Amino acid sequence: MPTSTTLTGRAGYLDHSLDSKVVLPADERFDQARLAWNLAVDQRPAAVVFPESAADVAAAVRYAAQRGLRVAAQGTGHNAGPLGPLAHTLLVRTDKMRGIWIDPQARTARVEAGVVWLDVVQAAAQHGLAALAGSSPNVGVTGYTLGGGLSFLGRKYGLAASNVQAIDVVTADGTLVRADRDHEPDLFWALRGGGGSFGVVTALEFALFPITQAYAGVLWYPIGRGSEVLHAWAELTRGSVPDELTTVGRFVNFPPIPQIPEPIRGQSFVIVEAYHLDDPAQADQLLGPLRALGPVNDTIATVPVPALSHLHMDPEQPVPGKGDGMMIDQLPSEAIDAFVQAAGAHAAFPLTTVELRHLGGELARPRPHNGALSSLEGQYLVFAAGSTPLPELTALVTAQVEAVKRALVPWAARQMYLNFAETRHPAAPFWTAHAYQRLRQIKANVDPGDIIRSNHPIPPAAR
Q: Kindly tell me which residue out of 201, 363, 384, 435 binds ligand FAD, with binding defined by CB under 6 A.
A: 201
Return the number of the residue (243 or 273) whose C-beta is nearest ligand FAD. 273
Q: Which stretch binds ligand FAD (CB under 6 A): 43-51, 74-82, 178-186, 332-340?
A: 74-82
56-79 burial code (b ≥16 CB/10 A, e <16): bbbbbbebbbebebbbbbbbbbbb
Total residues binding ligand FAD (CB under 6 A): 33
Return the number of the residue (123 or 191) whose C-beta is nearest ligand FAD. 191
Q: Which stretch binds ligand FAD (CB under 6 A): 139-147, 233-241, 326-334, 435-443?
A: 139-147
| Residues between 296 and 335 with contacts to ligand FAD, criterion CB under 6 A | 314
Using CA atoms, how far residue 244 sits from 216, 240, 282, 437, in Å, is 11, 12, 10, 34
The reply to whether 353 sits near ligand FAD by the rule CB under 6 A is no
The reply to whether 45 sits near ligand FAD by the rule CB under 6 A is no
Q: Which stretch binds ligand FAD (CB under 6 A): 138-146, 289-297, 391-399, 442-450?
A: 138-146
Q: Kindly tell me which residue out of 74, 162, 374, 415 binds ligand FAD, with binding defined by CB under 6 A.
A: 74
The reply to whether 163 sits near ligand FAD by the rule CB under 6 A is no
**CA 342 centroid distance within chain:** 24
Using CA atoms, how far residue 242 sits from 133, 215, 234, 238, 283, in Å, is 20, 14, 15, 11, 9
d(CA 110, CA 11): 34
Of 159, 145, 283, 157, which is closest to residue 211 (Cα–Cα)?
A: 157
Return the number of the residue (77 or 306) whose C-beta is nearest ligand FAD. 77
The reply to whether 161 sits near ligand FAD by the rule CB under 6 A is no
Q: Kindly tell me which residue out of 40, 51, 52, 144 binds ligand FAD, with binding defined by CB under 6 A.
A: 144
The reply to whether 51 sits near ligand FAD by the rule CB under 6 A is no
Of 233, 218, 220, 226, which is closest to residue 274 (Cα–Cα)?
A: 218
The reply to whether 269 sits near ligand FAD by the rule CB under 6 A is no
Angle between helices 333-343 and 226-238 (to 10 degrees): 140
Strands 301-304 and 297-298: unpaired
The reply to whether 135 sits near ligand FAD by the rule CB under 6 A is yes
The reply to whether 359 sits near ligand FAD by the rule CB under 6 A is no
H-type helices in 354-412, by residue range?
393-408
* Contact by Cβ (8 Å): 288, 274: no
- Closest approach, Cβ 140 to ligand FAD, in A, equals 3
Return the number of the residue (196 or 217) whose C-beta is nearest ligand FAD. 196
Q: Kindly tell me which residue out of 45, 193, 194, 195 binds ligand FAD, with binding defined by CB under 6 A.
A: 195
What is the amino acid identity at position 218?
Answer: V
* Contact by Cβ (8 Å): 328, 413: yes
Cβ neighbors of 70 (< 8 A, separation 6 or more) are 64, 88, 89, 90, 450, 451, 452, 453
Q: Which stretch binds ligand FAD (CB under 6 A): 118-126, 136-144, 241-249, 332-340?
A: 136-144
Q: Which stretch binds ligand FAD (CB under 6 A): 26-34, 132-140, 283-291, 440-448?
A: 132-140
- Closest approach, Cβ 89 to ligand FAD, in A, equals 11
The reply to whether 79 sits near ligand FAD by the rule CB under 6 A is yes
Q: Which stretch binds ligand FAD (CB under 6 A): 145-153, 178-186, 368-376, 407-415?
A: 145-153
The reply to whether 361 sits near ligand FAD by the rule CB under 6 A is no
Cβ neighbors of 247 (< 8 A, separation 6 or more) are 233, 236, 237, 241, 272, 273, 274, 275, 358
Residue 30, number of CB atoms within 10 A of its CB: 17
192-229 burial code (b ≥16 CB/10 A, e <16): bbbbbbbbbbbbbbbbbbebebbbbbbbbbebebbbeb
Of 156, 203, 148, which is closest to residue 176 (Cα–Cα)?
A: 203
| Residues between 412 and 431 with contacts to ligand FAD, criterion CB under 6 A | 419-420
Cβ neighbors of 219 (< 8 A, separation 6 or more) are 271, 272, 273, 274, 287, 290, 291, 295, 297, 298, 300
The reply to whether 352 sits near ligand FAD by the rule CB under 6 A is no
The reply to whether 146 sits near ligand FAD by the rule CB under 6 A is yes
- Closest approach, Cβ 87 to ligand FAD, in A, equals 16
Return the number of the residue (225 or 456) whose C-beta is nearest ligand FAD. 456
- Closest approach, Cβ 107 to ligand FAD, in A, equals 21
User: Which residues make up the interface to ligand FAD (CB under 6 A)?
Assistant: 73-80, 83, 94, 113, 134-136, 139-140, 142-144, 146-150, 195-196, 200-201, 314, 419-420, 454-455
